[in-house]
Structure 1
Amino acid sequence: MAMIKNKDIQIRDPFVVPVKEEGKYYLFGSTDSNIWGNGTGFNAYVGRDLEEWEGPYTVFKPEEDFYAENNFWAPEVHKYEGRYYMFATFRRKDNNLLGTAVLASDSLLGPFTPHSDGPVTPKDWCSLDGTLFVDEEGLPWIVFCREWQQVGDGQVCAVRLTADLKDIVGEPVVLFSASHAKWPTSFQHPRYPGQDNYVTDGPSFYRAANGDLFMLWASFINNTYALGVAKSASGDVLGPWEQEDEALFQSDGGHAMMFHAFDGALMLAIHTPNQTPNERPLFLEIEEVEGKLRVRAT
């Protein structure tokens, strides 16, 4: 199979699973050529150096009776209790609202099939970008965004999952709203005259060696996509979450995650620019400086 370079891969919301035993990285993301329309499934790529990849490999393709047909977004793959679980966002047919569902497979390259009965996020909420968080007691949570269209000031929320990842336990807790941080800016939308709106996108977690718990999340600065960082004061998913004053990345990129490369380097996976069909994966080295995350100067 011919190798493909980062500059030739159209992908949003990149998510990397390093498999050290194989010496391979598995790259997942929103891979439809028009992710704002009909969803065809998700592809993955496999590589050894974060520069060239084999693929695409089809890892999820919906059956005819699947509960969504538009907006297949942000697949993340997590190993949990011996299987691989994909958390991905879909727009439901029955109410036209976004929600994050759980799919499962015995293999990183799928095929992934529905595991939860539709989205596990609240049915009457417009929710997206759910990620799996397993706390210090081994209990699973889903952390996700509630869309600005419903609340104006977009939220990041958390709720416990059942042990089998098929449903939620209790009611979601709002961890913070976008305007709690200083760096995002609001925007107006003709559908909501006079309302200041803020976006929350793509929460993901990084646990530092000293136990600090960081969350990456995306929003906009003057209509340009950007990535921010929050740190949990308690070291737990429920926070309280303290926001960095300035964005970590503000060059028209966002919806990122962090992982360790095989040489030990701490890496950021992000897509940029934020315009379809030009989105490409970008990998940047991150350093921890006095308890904060910074992009390492090259």
Structure 2
Amino acid sequence: MSTWLLIDGFNLAYRCFFAIPELTRSDGFPTNALHGWVKTIWKLEDQEKADGILVFFDLGGAQDRLALLPDYKAQREEMPEALSQQIPVIKELTRLMGLGGIEIEGVESDDLLAAQAVALANDGHTVKIVSADKDFAQTVTDNISMLLPPPSANPRLGWRAMGPAEVVTKFGVTPDKIADYLALVGDAADNIPGVAGVGPKTASKWLNEHGSLEGVIANAAVLKPDRFRLIVAADADRLRINLQLTTFNPNLPVQPAVKPPADGTSLVARLRELEMKSATIEAERRYGASQGELF
């Protein structure tokens, strides 16, 4: 069967934006994230030899989770204006490069990506999720892995695969317990409060002893350390809400496993218009397209 890369679009776009110093076109339009985006996509294509790539973006809104927790993601800062300007162009370049773009108003892209990953794996495909978001660890199986970006402190490590064994090493629990784990420790990135004072070691210990969040709640009276017994019992309903927040929704639309065609000629023309000289040369080489003399 086929190998598919599923890219967490905003996760990668933010990384590209902050990884590359400020770059602009001659009229001042920012292009640093664009440079990082095309180079990263080409790097992943060369490294992974995937049969197809799908990119997932948020269009705004997470209505089901906001109904459960009105402060869900409320702490997040607005996207930098220079990155916001580049997002529509990133999406345009994505389509021209022959990558499928997926987004649905009011539905989180993480849910869409997770549902797509599960559907593809169930059909026998190999799936690699390109993201540093720990939430995706809950989807990892023998057929689904995560591709973690190179750490800023040591970029030479390159992109690293996280399979089931690596999930256990990192979090102390198997992938099927990750949502429960996050419900207990909380998720600062999504503004989900966990049990005060409970860290990764305690959460993983409880889950390995009691099997699930419900098991932890049912055994609140015997939890160690003792000080958490009354806290967990009192927080039971909130923790169950946390679990709904940290668990992906598998019942969402998925795309057919078909790779759209690249439009090399239009891609080269657009890169040339953006004054991305090295990317234009590389696109001409990769797609066999030319737009004449470069700027």
TM-score by length of 2: 0.27
Greater relative CO, 1 or 2 (CA 8 Å, sep 6+) = 2
Q: Which has the larger radius of gyration?
A: 2
Q: TM-score, normalised by structure 1?
A: 0.26
Which has the larger helix fraction?
2
Q: Which has the larger share of strand?
A: 1
